[in-house]
Chain A
Amino acid sequence: MTYLAITDLQKHYDSYHALRGINLSITEGEFVVFVGPSGCGKSTLLRTIAGLESSTGGSIELDGRDITEVASSKRDLAMVFQSYALYPHMTVADNLSFALRLAKVSDAEIKEKVRSVSASLQLDALLERKPKELSGGQRQRVAIGRAIVRQPKVFLFDEPLSNLDAALRVQMRLELARLHKKLGTTMIYVTHDQVEAMTLADRVVILNAGQIEQVGTPLELYRQPNSRFVAEFIGTPKMNLIAANKIIRQEETLAIELLGQQIHFPANRLKGPLPDSVVVGIRPEHMSLVESGGDLTGRIELVEHLGSEAYAHLQLSSDQTIIIKAPARTELKDGQEVSLKIDISEMILFNKNDRVISVIPEEV
């Protein structure tokens, strides 16, 4: 059941085409995250939904009502801004109640709503303070409270955590996830941080150059990206990409020649015709070290110990560097020659247009 429907949405600035035909449908109660590199149009898309930017084509429908031309205050949306945008001359209580006071809600009702929101966000003790007397996390909560108090149909978040320090960000991320569980309201969240996208989202929308690159659950995007862009964008450290110039069909398998070694890829997982050359994508955790007879060999350049795990940077024979995940207390040494086994079932093939031409087998 579609709640928010965006159809062929376009946004032109003077000479710049910021949104190139966005089509997206969001169901009620969903937590959708827009993610992409800077300049991809994710903030523009959010601001167009909010009505802060006017679209130059297409339509937006919320709960069966066309809101494309509706003033932003009449759209039943509430937005949390990156800078929080609290009103600096008003107390926390006045900030929370501003929209209600403008809507001429009765005093008793305002009081009750402010009380319940401030209680749920632990703002009770701060109601009489001005924004500048609050910490970053508290300001963030006031900004969220100001959105909640209006009981909107959809919450919009514009990179709300990017002004917080790393520890607080993790904490607020958790609070946001809890809040979404508790309220069950539809939320749209813009971020450039793929970790936030992966952890918060029911569905992630990856944008690139004003277009939707792929929509899916975080795990779908991780395991089965549509394109090289998505594959490289999602996941830290990045997916390793190795070019293979020779590919031969042999009965049930494809023999892919990778830096002088042949690996065998099940032919039934190939979509479309056999290409002349492919790029092989493999994530760091899908390769394992073996004593001998691996698919790849390389020399260890650097080992990064993260405590719970370690990442080893390997120099392959072709001068290319790849990253593999190793156990926390790995014995690997710099300069050591190692042999790698690739987990074929998690391997992805890209054609020369950077589209994915393989499918991942269903999980057993």
Chain B
Amino acid sequence: MKRSITRLLMAPSVIMLLVWMIIPLSMTIYFSTIRYNLLYPGQNNFVGLMNFEFFITDPGFIPAVSNTLILLLSVLIITVVLGVMLSALIDKPFFGQGIVRVLLISPFFIMPTVNALIWKNMMMNPVYGIFAWISESLGFEPIDWLSSYPLMSVIIMVSWQWLPFAILVFVTALQSQDTEQKEAAQMDGATGWHIFRYLTIPHLARPIAVVVMIETIFLLAVFAEIFVSTGGGPGYDSTNLAYLIYNQALLQYDVGVASAGGLFAVLLANIVAFFLIRAVGKNLTV
């Protein structure tokens, strides 16, 4: 009796969530199996798996998948490594700690489009960007980052955006580290490096797992930074899956192929998630 009432009361939200998930997914599956090009309305006949074939054989497909993975892994490594180091650095009290922390965290509050514009126009612009000015004042040729190293430029922008998130999580975690443990290690003859290596890093295992998981979810779908800065180019050099799907749907007006691409992205996300959960998930269960 009591149980059925709880189920009844929970039903609306459960159904709502299911519908929320099921309808877009099934519509995507449906679109991926029909011819659905906005340039040829009305010709929506069933085409089987042809959309998938088109998407996979697209010249942009292989670069997009590899770019997605390179972007994901690079940003994860940069944010976690730098994040741990910076957090350990600002964990000890020093003059101006509050301001430094706020400054370190503030990039996270800047929206991705603005972030990309700042980097594109103020930092990486070959004529009046800060990097160009630095190279010139040191006597080097300025680099046109966005066309010479497009993927790396995107990686820098996205890392800058996500590093604060990692720092935020790690600083909080460091504050919960037991000071008596550090003192005990100190008396046992541990140097600062030993304490960092044998106490702090293991202590951070779980927060690192959390940061990796959450960042993965967002990094597989990076779009605004690419759209605003490189536009996926030159060629397919900075196109990732999300951008390729956008390209199919809204530049080539082929909703069918775009839906097939979307389903492929779901597949890729699941594969990555599978390996990630196996790799870091055991830290979460402890």
Q: Which residues of A contact B (CB under 8 A)?
A: 50-52, 72-74, 77-79, 81-83, 85-90, 98-99, 102-103, 146, 150
Contact = CB atoms under 8 A, between A and B. Distances in A.
B190 A73 contact: yes
Interface in B192-214: 194, 198-199, 202-203, 205
Contact of B188 (A51, A52, A88, A102): A102
A78 B187 contact: yes
B77 interface: no
Interface range for B: 10 to 19
A246 B183 CA distance: 56
18 contacts: A51-B187, A73-B190, A79-B187, A85-B180, A85-B181, A87-B181, A87-B185, A87-B198, A89-B198, A89-B202, A89-B203, A98-B198, A102-B188, A102-B190, A102-B194, A103-B189, A146-B184, A150-B188
B9 to A, nearest CB: 38
For chain B, what secondary structure do more than half of its interface residues adopt (helix, strand, loop), or is it mixed? helix
A52 B202 contact: no
Majority secondary structure, A binding face = loop
A158 B178 CA distance: 16
A85 B178 contact: yes
B186 interface: yes
Contact of A73 (B188, B198, B202): B188
A87 B190 CA distance: 12
Given A73-B190, A74-B189, A146-B188, 5 more contacts: A51-B187, A73-B188, A77-B187, A85-B178, A85-B181
Given A85-B180, A87-B181, A52 B198 contact: no
Contacts of A77: 187
A86 B178 CA distance: 10
Interface string B162-193: 00000000000000001011011111111000
Nearest to A80: B184
B283 to A, nearest CB: 11
Contacts of B180: 81-83, 85
Contacts of B199: 87, 89
A98 B178 contact: no
Residue of B183, B185, B199 with highest tally of chain A CB at under 10 A: B183
Contacts of B186: 52, 72-73
B189 A81 contact: no
A99 B186 CA distance: 9
Nearest to B183: A52
Contacts of A79: 183-184, 187
A173 B202 CA distance: 33
Contacts of B198: 87, 89-90, 98
A83 B190 contact: no
Nearest to B194: A102
Which of B189, B194, B198: most chain A CB closer than 10 A? B189
B218 to A, nearest CB: 29
